[in-house]
Structure 1
């Protein structure tokens, strides 16, 4: 049992070690959230610096708007398209690379390139690939399946952007899954092999349960990046045509930067924040249940 003096010293040391982190969290997380909440209650002009308290008027104007609900639906649709591809594709590629006896380092570098590349610059390249008529996508997929003019179509613009998002997110997923695979104890695979388990059964009984933490972490990052997607949409479609690819982040940018409506943009920001926090808490809850089930 610790002496009172030693306990006080340990308590003081814990505050010394965690104090900077708590301070930074307050400055860069809590203060911006409170600022957004305050701005949502005011009519603010950034040029004249004039504040006018309007109460809930910004909420009353923004929440019923069709543009907000369409942007929310587009954001959810984009997430539903990209996250399964990112997680599933990243896992498959990671398993293939992990199983290589030669050239694994080369393929790790190849799939890390989307992570290292600037997404805005790569979106410009993808924009030319989807360019109507002369782009590679129209010349191949468009020629084979009749799916042309993706970026000018109200039904294909968002999937086109989702292709870029899935491609960019898969690189991070591969790296995270490879880290998780390297932590799987080799003796468990050897024991399963001695018991007569095939490759598929070894994956479900040994590899997949051990990848639980890596999968949850990758899922949280993939959903977060999908919900706040902005760069590729801004470059490739600018939210069009007819707002068919406009997400909450793009709507937030338009409200706050193009129209300088800081109050309504703050409301959009709060909606996006609530969705991000809600999905993150759900995923963390699933992750805890997964870990609990795996330890039984």
Structure 2
């Protein structure tokens, strides 16, 4: 700032700004107080265990061990050569594909038949949706008793029909997994039906009327009007079914326990055995991270395919 001088040449004090700048005040946003409990819960019960599991997967971490030495990627290399893990992954993929395709196709067929709102369609919607509300463990236990070769109702009904040698549904290595897949479809088809039914009811009736005027039959109207309108709902239900199927545990744990001879053992069930039965937490954490990467990659692939179709 330049010094101001008078006519005699003697310096004078500099002139002050008549309008001083206002001071900046920091205001506390009360919204942080409402967000803080959720942030703390997420950090303690979600973020910290995720970070801890990643750290444990790089160690030979065993419960009760005196030391847990760092091993780097040794757990992942051992997992790559673990034939039982690959068998569990095969079972998980087969279950996921079977249940996802089955419940989407069956749910789409049921939703198409129950689209009109009548008293019996409302009753059937409730009946189809009811199994989805039930717990997976409860469903597994009920079906285990129904399929029991000694006291099960399924084999008893087959015997009444003249079948003298009914199938060993859960005791056969070739039938156990298909049986679990059928139960999984029965459990989840109600959810898919409700989502697709809601999507169908959002389709404008004018589109169907225009298609009928053009001479389109029921199947043509379904493929050209209904299916394109249901694309977001189909993507949502397929994605949910895929992610849920890859996390298969409760159903096989309550129905078969992973047997017979590991024919129904899933990746999560193998993780459970390594972590909470054998207490090899480092190896179990590696299994969890591999499964997480698989789920993330499959979900990203499905979303990318859906975006490409929307672009076309």
Same fold per TM (> 0.5)?
Answer: yes
Q: In the TM superposition, what is the alpha-carbon distance from 1:48 to its structure 2 partner?
A: 5.8
Q: CA RMSD in A?
A: 2.9
Q: Which has the higher helix share?
A: 1
Equivalent residue in structure 1 for 2:95, among 78, 98, 107: 78
Moved more, 249-258 or 156-165: 156-165
Question: What is residue 74 of structure 2 aligned with on the other side?
Answer: 57
Q: Is 1:241–2:239 an aligned residue pair? A: no
Question: What is residue 199 of structure 2 aligned with on the other side?
Answer: 180
The CA deviation string for residues 229-276 of structure 1, in whole angstroms up to 9 with x for no partner, is 111100111101111110101101101111110011111112211211
* Kept after mapping to 2: 8 A contact 1:212/1:290: no
Question: What is residue 60 of structure 2 aligned with on the other side?
Answer: 43
Moved more, 60-69 or 209-218: 60-69
What is the total number of aligned residue pairs between the two structures?
Answer: 282
* Kept after mapping to 1: 8 A contact 2:62/2:282: no
Question: What is residue 154 of structure 2 aligned with on the other side?
Answer: 137
Counterparts in 2 of 1:25 and 1:223: CA distance versus 1, 3 Å: farther
Show the 5 A alignment for 1:73-112: 73-112=90-129
Q: In the TM superposition, what is the alpha-carbon distance from 1:25 to its structure 2 partner?
A: 7.3
Question: What is residue 6 of structure 1 aligned with on the other side?
Answer: none
Counterparts in 2 of 1:67 and 1:86: CA distance versus 1, 3 Å: same
SS at match of 2:61: strand
Equivalent residue in structure 2 for 1:275, among 280, 284, 294: 294
* Kept after mapping to 2: 8 A contact 1:90/1:177: yes
Counterparts in 2 of 1:91 and 1:28: CA distance versus 1, 3 Å: farther
Q: How far apart, in 2, do the equivalents of 1:78 and 1:141 lie? A: 26
Moved more, 77-86 or 141-150: 141-150
SS at match of 2:257: coil
Q: How far apart, in 2, do the equivalents of 1:266 and 1:203 lie? A: 46
Show the 5 A alignment for 1:98-247: 98-140=115-157, 148-247=167-266
Q: How far apart, in 2, do the equivalents of 1:87 and 1:28 lie? A: 34
Q: How far apart, in 2, do the equivalents of 1:96 and 1:168 lie? A: 19
Q: In the TM superposition, what is the alpha-carbon distance from 1:80 to its structure 2 partner?
A: 2.1
User: Which structure has the greater CA radius of gyration?
Assistant: 2
The unaligned stretches of length 5 or more in structure 1 are 1-11
Counterparts in 2 of 1:21 and 1:290: CA distance versus 1, 3 Å: farther
